[in-house]
Amino acid sequence: MAHKVFFTPGPAQLYPTFEKHLGVAVREQLGSISHRSKQFRTIYRHADEQLRTLLNIPASHAVLFTGSATEVWERAIQNGAGRETFHLVNGSFSKRFYEFATELGKNAHKAEAPFGEGFAVDKLDIPAPVELVCLTHNETSSGVSLPAAEMHKLKARYPEALFIVDMVSSAPYPALDYSLIDSAFFSVQKGFGLPAGLGVWIVNEKFLAKAEALKAAGQYVGTHHSLPSLWRNAKNFETPATPNVLGIYLLGQVAQDMNRTGVETIREQTRQRAVQIYKAIAASGGLEVFVKMPDHRSATVIVAGTRDNAPALIEKWKGENIVIGSGYGSYKEKQIRIANFPANTDEEIQRLLTAIGQL
């Protein structure tokens, strides 16, 4: 089978060093080690340290592991809000985050923007009282991003509320200021170029205090995974139950590789590649940039409208071993999604640009 190059918004292209690290993991029999062993704690600690360096996470925040980022939606709402949540909703994933809050019985408020549009954060008013503000840095369905600086400005206006950022399909791209952002999370099968099956939850002491207060007041904060038990275990570089040990090992290794390159280099490369891809789409006869406002365009998930049938284009490119994502939900026939994650090489990006240019 010919080797495919993935530009899919996750699961995605695997990081170039993935196979090497997997080989080491197999040789060192990491699939068999106890999650209560020193060897596992060393693996957790290494991933923790590398992620702290990469994402500039301060000591006030813990790095926790869950089964997926979707699980973090549930756990964060259970642990971060007694009653009042606020959500920015502008696509399928931010909408699901909001729906989780309503399913959890919260009084969930939202500000909505049409699919393909972002928010003018200056003009937003969050109704009082609010406990937890849920932001989506990168709306994977529509390719709209909420710049980190805008999230920081919003937090400055509502310093009392807990702010949590879904950066599932953008991490490590957004340079979040964790003196403002109380919590953020992602899954490893997007920007980190790893197989799915692991969520990463970054969360601070203020969020923990809230969870403990809610628990003390009788609120259900989770059994398999609650923030207090995840936190307590993490202090010892352990997890409440047996985690995806192999996934944590691989994440630590890829984060270390990224640190060797330097996160600013990776971010600048992502920015430059995004400019090139958007430019190629705009110049192409067969595609058009979907997100109209340049400031709202995602650097990591690029959505384009197709002149012709989108599934046919996806099939055509698949024949050339270039795999891209389909439009989300009802946009399947008329849109494609192209991921721009750090795992892709310069050469692969050139192949993509050439393919776009030939449409």
Residues that bind a copy of itself (CB under 8 A): 1, 3-4, 6, 8, 10-14, 18-19, 22, 26-35, 66-71, 73-74, 77, 100, 103-105, 187, 189, 194-198, 220, 222-225, 240-247, 323, 325
**From the CB of 122, what's the least distance to a copy of itself, in Å?**
32
E strand or H helix at 311: helix 310-319
**From the CB of 49, what's the least distance to a copy of itself, in Å?**
22
Name the token pair of 16.
């170039």
**From the CB of 70, what's the least distance to a copy of itself, in Å?**
4
Query: What are the backbone dihedrals phi and psi of residue 163, each rounded to the nearest 5 degrees, phi first?
Result: -110, 130
**Residue 84 in 3-state DSSP?**
strand
Question: What are the DSSP calls for 234-256, one per residue?
Answer: HTTT--SS---HHHHHHHHHHHH
Residue given tokens 């059994």 in the structure block: 223
Cβ proximity to a copy of itself: between 240 and 342 the closer is 240
Cβ proximity to a copy of itself: between 72 and 135 the closer is 72
Give the integer Cα–Cα distance in Å for 359 and 242: 49
Tell me the β-bridge partners of 66.
199
Cβ proximity to a copy of itself: between 64 and 246 the closer is 246
Cβ proximity to a copy of itself: between 50 and 226 the closer is 226
Cβ proximity to a copy of itself: between 242 and 354 the closer is 242
**From the CB of 207, what's the least distance to a copy of itself, in Å?**
18
**From the CB of 194, what's the least distance to a copy of itself, in Å?**
7
Q: Omega before 11 cis (within 30°)?
A: yes
Give the integer Cα–Cα distance in Å for 262 and 255: 10
